[in-house]
């Protein structure tokens, strides 16, 4: 116990120390919120990955979906690596960095407001971010506190409050640079910890082959498939696909993830960051879901609700409870690392959004740089207090699963923003009306399903909202006037499709130009 406590105290000391050491870099908004847009590929990639994967993934999702889908849950981790990391960096990264720099946009709502020349869209998106980042933050508190309770016997409430205080201290002190430097250190802990934990859990079950054989003999309820939990796509391929879409495609529309592209250096840093981020996701996400796939082997040890259903958040802590004490300490620091990095990203995103997109010019006029940073710091504390309060209330409510909270949050945010952001990067033809409809659809679908469930789960609702956002935005834009394009980004946005007549004229002009060239120059073509 002394060793475990020392490991945690050393970790907290390092985290706060980084906040103190980076304080001098946050004298203005760009420095405090984006690190001066000069963050290197390693820090950016680890920041992206550690913001992506937290206690929600390791404790909540790995436990729940490993239990439901067995070893096929590993597909979720692979989807997170290839779609949520690699493709996101390739498709969104370069264009996001360039356009936000030209627009001088610091937050996602500011991007929407300037890209679509609409103050109302900026305010609406800021409100959505503030409201729906709160349940996600509460879910992070939930997952970490359960693990702390298993390792130290500390009450849930004490864990939540302590974690909120530490997060406040280092983010208020150092801003974005404190988060990304800590993310890098925390990411290294996560990589080492995941590998060690998987090896230890498999060893405690007689090795991989023995554990797989035991898992193959567990029947899956509602499925006639023999050995369903070791099959290629598991007992429920459709449900598995919904989770992959939500957790992989969702990052494309989450403000705390997208802002990592705002802050990275220009040039080759994005290509380098894409590879680093993908490899990180393969180990951390793939390893977490692979570990969760053996959850059914602990069916006689986990906690159950009064109605007989398993408490999914208890599965991973139960798997780890029999490990050596020092390894449990490493796991606690691992999940603490993942959770602190995610929390810091969430609170910084929310507080900067509130300040720059709602308070400034709407409630407080003519802010200078010092006042902006002061407001961001103050609202950061407010956001932490609110989300910690929600986590405490949620713990005693009927919403007991981490995945429910995260599904609602990711579904509403990515379901609202995915289409408007992606199409806004690449097309001149997108209209304000299509963006409004996407906002209404994302929030409306997820919240309605939460109040009156008409879909099987928040996961399915969130995945559906994202897909509809991608479809609705270009379709509605065909029938509504396009939003004006700011002159600074006009050269880099893809031109509107040419009509048949325009294409013919362009082809004729190209042919005439070709005839004017010297034959020796044309030959290589």
Sequential DSSP letters for 53-94? -SHIIIIIIHHHHHHHHGGGGHHHHHHHHIIIIIIHHHHHHH
pLDDT for residue 377: 87
Whether 517 is covered by a domain: the verdict is no
pLDDT for residue 310: 86
Rounded distance, CA 138 to CA 277, Å?
A: 25
Whether 521 is covered by a domain: the verdict is no
Whether 522 is covered by a domain: the verdict is no
pLDDT for residue 461: 87
Query: What are the helix and strand counts (H, E) for the chain?
Result: 22, 0
Q: Read off the pLDDT of residues 88-115 as tens digits, 9 standing for 90 and up.
A: 999 999 999 999 999 999 999 999 999 9
Question: Going by C-beta distance under 8 Å and a sequence separation of 6 or more, which residues neighbour residue 435?
Answer: 112, 116, 118, 121, 420, 424, 473, 483
pLDDT for residue 477: 96
pLDDT for residue 211: 92
Residues of the chain falling short of pLDDT 50: 403, 496-504, 514, 521-525
Number of other CB atoms surrounding residue 358 within 10 Å: 18
Q: How many domains does the chain have?
A: 1
> Is 500 buried (19+), middle (13-18) or exposed (0-12) by CB count in 10 A?
exposed
Rounded distance, CA 151 to CA 213, Å?
A: 29
pLDDT for residue 244: 92
Whether 366 is covered by a domain: the verdict is yes
Strand partners, 310: 304
Sequential DSSP letters for 91-137? HHHHHHHHHHHHHT--SHHHHHHHHTT-HHHHHHHHHHHHHHHHHHH
Number of other CB atoms surrounding residue 146 within 10 Å: 25
Q: DSSP label at 396?
A: T
Q: Which domain holds residue 164?
A: 2-492
Strand partners, 275: none
Whether 72 is covered by a domain: the verdict is yes
Whether 508 is covered by a domain: the verdict is no
Whether 112 is covered by a domain: the verdict is yes
Rounded distance, CA 58 to CA 139, Å?
A: 12
pLDDT for residue 525: 40
Which CATH number does the domain housing residue 299 bear? 1.20.1730.10
Whether 467 is covered by a domain: the verdict is yes
pLDDT for residue 498: 46
């Amino acid at each position: 116990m002394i060793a475990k406590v020392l490991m945690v105290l050393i970790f907290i000391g390092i985290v706060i120390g980084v906040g103190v050491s980076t304080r001098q870099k946050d004298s203005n908004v760009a420095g405090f919120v984006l690190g001066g847009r000069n963050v290197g590929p390693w820090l950016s990639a680890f920041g992206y990955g550690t913001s992506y994967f937290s206690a929600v993934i390791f404790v909540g999702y790995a436990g729940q979906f490993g239990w439901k889908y067995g070893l096929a849950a590993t597909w979720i981790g692979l989807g997170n690596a290839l779609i949520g990391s690699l493709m996101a960096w390739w498709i969104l990264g370069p264009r996001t960095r360039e356009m936000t720099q030209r627009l001088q946009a610091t937050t996602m709502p500011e991007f929407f407001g300037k890209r679509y020349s609409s103050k109302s869209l900026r305010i609406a998106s800021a409100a959505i971010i503030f409201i729906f980042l709160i349940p996600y933050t509460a879910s992070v508190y939930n997952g970490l506190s359960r693990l702390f309770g298993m390792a130290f016997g500390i009450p849930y409430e004490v864990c939540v409050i302590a974690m909120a205080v530490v997060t406040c201290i280092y983010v208020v002190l150092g801003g974005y640079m404190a988060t990304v430097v800590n993310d890098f250190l925390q990411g290294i802990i996560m990589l080492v910890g995941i590998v060690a934990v998987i090896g230890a859990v498999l060893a405690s079950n007689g090795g991989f082959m023995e554990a797989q054989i035991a898992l193959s003999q567990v029947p899956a309820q509602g499925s006639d498939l023999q050995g369903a939990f070791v099959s290629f796509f598991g007992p429920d391929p459709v449900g598995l696909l919904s989770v992959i879409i939500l957790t992989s495609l969702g990052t494309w529309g989450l403000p705390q993830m997208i802002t990592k592209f705002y802050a990275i250096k220009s040039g080759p840093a994005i290509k380098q960051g894409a590879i680093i981020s993908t490899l990180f996701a393969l180990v951390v996400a793939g390893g977490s879901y692979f570990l969760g796939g053996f959850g059914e082997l602990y069916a006689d040890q986990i906690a159950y609700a009064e109605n007989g259903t398993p408490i999914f958040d208890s599965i991973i802590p139960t798997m780890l409870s029999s490990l050596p004490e020092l390894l449990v300490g490493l796991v606690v620091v691992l999940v603490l690392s993942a959770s602190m990095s995610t929390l810091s990203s969430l609170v910084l995103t929310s507080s900067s959004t509130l300040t720059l997109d709602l308070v400034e010019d709407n409630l407080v006029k003519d802010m200078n740089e010092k006042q902006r940073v002061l407001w961001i710091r103050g609202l950061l504390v407010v956001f932490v207090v609110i989300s910690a309060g929600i986590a405490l209330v949620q713990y005693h409510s009927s919403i007991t699963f981490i995945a429910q909270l995260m599904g609602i949050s990711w579904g509403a945010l990515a379901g609202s923003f995915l289409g408007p952001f992606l199409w806004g990067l690449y097309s001149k033809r997108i209209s304000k009306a299509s963006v409004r409809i996407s906002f209404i659809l994302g929030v409306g679908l997820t919240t309605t399903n939460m109040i009156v469930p008409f879909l099987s789960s928040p996961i399915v609702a969130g995945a559906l909202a994202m897909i509809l956002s991608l479809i609705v935005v270009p379709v509605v834009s065909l029938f509504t006037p396009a939003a004006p394009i700011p002159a600074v980004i006009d050269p880099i946005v893809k031109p509107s499709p040419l009509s048949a007549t325009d294409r013919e004229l362009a082809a004729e002009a190209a042919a005439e130009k070709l005839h004017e060239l010297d034959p020796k120059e044309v030959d290589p073509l």
